[in-house]
Structure 1
Amino acid sequence: MAAPRHTSLLALYPRITARDRHLLQLLDDHQVLTTPQIHTLLFGARRTCQERLGELHTLGLIDRFRFPRPGGGSQPWHWTLGHHGHRFQAAAHGLPEPTARATRDRTHRLSANPRLNHLTATNDFFVRLAAHTRTDPARQLTRWWSERTATERFLGVRPDGHGIWTTPDTSTGFFLECDLGTETLHRVAAKLDGYARLAAGGGPRYPVLFWLGNPGREEHLHPLLRGHVVVSATSGHDSDPSGSVWLPAGGWHRVHLGQLPSSHGPDNAVNPNWRNGVLDLAGDHQWVARTSM
């Protein structure tokens, strides 16, 4: 039985672990994660993950939906914040408490959003990077910003996501453009103009990663990327983004993220990488890598 809508948050606090708090923040930042994605990010055993998600759902902290697959069966559960999860996050960040109706409407809009597959694919890119850090302590996903956060922080661009990938040798910022084949390739390539204006206006000079759904689009996109001042690289959805899978525009060999040129930019008012004269590459809305199993 689900926790009543009027349940006191104080009564729920003893049931909420550090890992639960992390999950609630991830869902607040990135709207929706599937069961396999949450398992990859936060759990060792799949059964443990499924059982805990069921418990959090019963408590009203998270909600879920899924759709049938075209060929039969069902997609994995898609998880988002439940009413008590929204209440908890509002309390944690000093925001007004949401109504049950507002929470319900938000979940309905998310489940019916025509860009849901795009959002899920974008999150999957970062989940794969984060998964690599759990087995390779030398590498970190120092920052994982959603489209909403990145758009608020970087003026004039609207990436699908933004991250910073840190290795022992370098710290590489990047903007992600997750392509599902819904736009013309000319329109995809034209997005580089906004990133060029950002860099020229005092922002960071990060490579733009085009993550594409099939090799054909990757092949035909490359001629359109050549000649742009912004560094860009491409790879496919079937690749491991932490590996040597990125083909730079005008290049012939695929490289690691850390091999792409990247500059965090100067200290100025338009560059969110700096706070009070100090370079801050973590800040808020960050991905904290090795959560306990």
Structure 2
Amino acid sequence: MDRIRDRLSDRDLTILRSVDDHQFLTTRQIELLHFASVAPDARGRVTRRALARLRGLRVLDTLDRRVGGARAGSRGFVYHVGVAGDRLLDHSQRRSGRLRYEPTTRFVDHRLAVADAHVALSVACRTDRLELIDSAVEPRSWRTYTGIGSARRTLKPDLFAETATGDDQVTAWFIEIDLGSEHLPTLLTKCREYEAYRQTGIEQDHHGAFPLVIWSMTHPNEAKATRRRHALAEAIAADRHLPGALFRIVTPSDLVSLIANGGTT
């Protein structure tokens, strides 16, 4: 392990921590996060070479499936922390055992969609569309609190972000990624969980206000995606226990614009 550690650059270690945070990242996502300073005509090649070296050292490993299928080549790899990388991270509890079997496509797709949202915010920060003050993907985005009857409860946002725009207004966000696989009552139950947590006042004490909750919703069928967005908006409006001003519902492509505009659609 000492020999492997000595062969890693600061960027290698940053990539390792980034993959660990997101659980899965594609070649393209890693390129956007960590190789923006490389000349565009060499960026893809440099990224693939660096990842191949980390894979050879077992710092990173890849799933059997690829984004875009077998024809995508190494650009289609989905990376996760390898055996050596897990030891280098020095977790209090080893986590490499979670990949003794191939995770489901649905699970990986959701994790990669969360990563897409996080990467988009990071790129927007780098290009001065907004200032990303803080961010966390699950489980670091989770909030544990005491509910009714002293029950221990955990709110599980997919992504948390705190941003500032040109007028120095700081806004916090809870972001939920929906790929069209959950039933509407499940989404509405999650909205009620946010309201229950808001009622505790914990987040307001920390941020001065409760974060806005964004639902980034899509579906392989765009017509169904549109219907689902409208249906959730109507269900929130019809629920007298839910403050409609707390929620925003957007397409993935509109997520950054919404946040850059301070929540104004």
Aligned pair 1:242/2:253, yes or no? no
2:228 equivalent among 171, 196, 217: 217
Superposed counterparts of 1:137-148, under 5 Å: 139-148=130-139
1:232 equivalent among 247, 252, 257: 247
Superposed counterparts of 1:33-182, under 5 Å: 33-44=25-36, 45-67=43-65, 73-74=71-72, 76-90=76-90, 95=92, 98=94, 103=96, 105-109=97-101, 111-112=103-104, 114-136=106-128, 139-153=130-144, 155-168=153-166, 169-182=168-181
Cα offsets for 1:143-175 (capped at 9, x unmatched): 222221222556531212212122242221111
The AA in structure 2 aligned to 1:231 is L
The AA in structure 2 aligned to 1:140 is E
In proportion to residue count, which structure has more strand?
Answer: 2
The AA in structure 2 aligned to 1:203 is I
Given the superposition, is the C-alpha separation of residues 63 and 209 from structure 1 closer, same or farther in structure 2, using an over 3 Å criterion?
same
In structure 1, runs of 5+ residues without a counterpart are 1-8, 247-254, 261-293
Cα offsets for 1:76-109 (capped at 9, x unmatched): 111111111101101xx6x36x4xxx63x32234
Give the TM-score normalised by structure 2.
0.78
How far apart in 1 are the matches of 2:62 and 2:69? 22
Tell me which of the two structures has the higher relative contact order, counting C-alpha pairs closer than 8 angstroms and 6 or more residues apart.
1
How far apart in 1 are the matches of 2:60 and 2:76? 15
Cα offsets for 1:172-217 (capped at 9, x unmatched): 1111111111222232123121111212112221111100102222
Counting aligned pairs with the same residue, the percent is 25
The alignment yields a C-alpha RMSD, in angstroms, of: 2.5
The AA in structure 1 aligned to 2:103 is S
Given the superposition, is the C-alpha separation of residues 257 and 224 from structure 1 closer, same or farther in structure 2, using an over 3 Å criterion?
farther
Given the superposition, is the C-alpha separation of residues 234 and 194 from structure 1 closer, same or farther in structure 2, using an over 3 Å criterion?
same
How far apart in 2 are the matches of 1:124 and 1:235? 15
Aligned pair 1:258/2:262, yes or no? yes
Equivalent pairs counted in the alignment come to 232
Partner of 1:265: none
In proportion to residue count, which structure has more helix?
Answer: 2
Given the superposition, is the C-alpha separation of residues 201 and 110 from structure 1 closer, same or farther in structure 2, using an over 3 Å criterion?
farther
Aligned pair 1:23/2:24, yes or no? no
Contact kept? 1:156, 1:194, Cα under 8 Å: no
Contact kept? 1:164, 1:172, Cα under 8 Å: yes
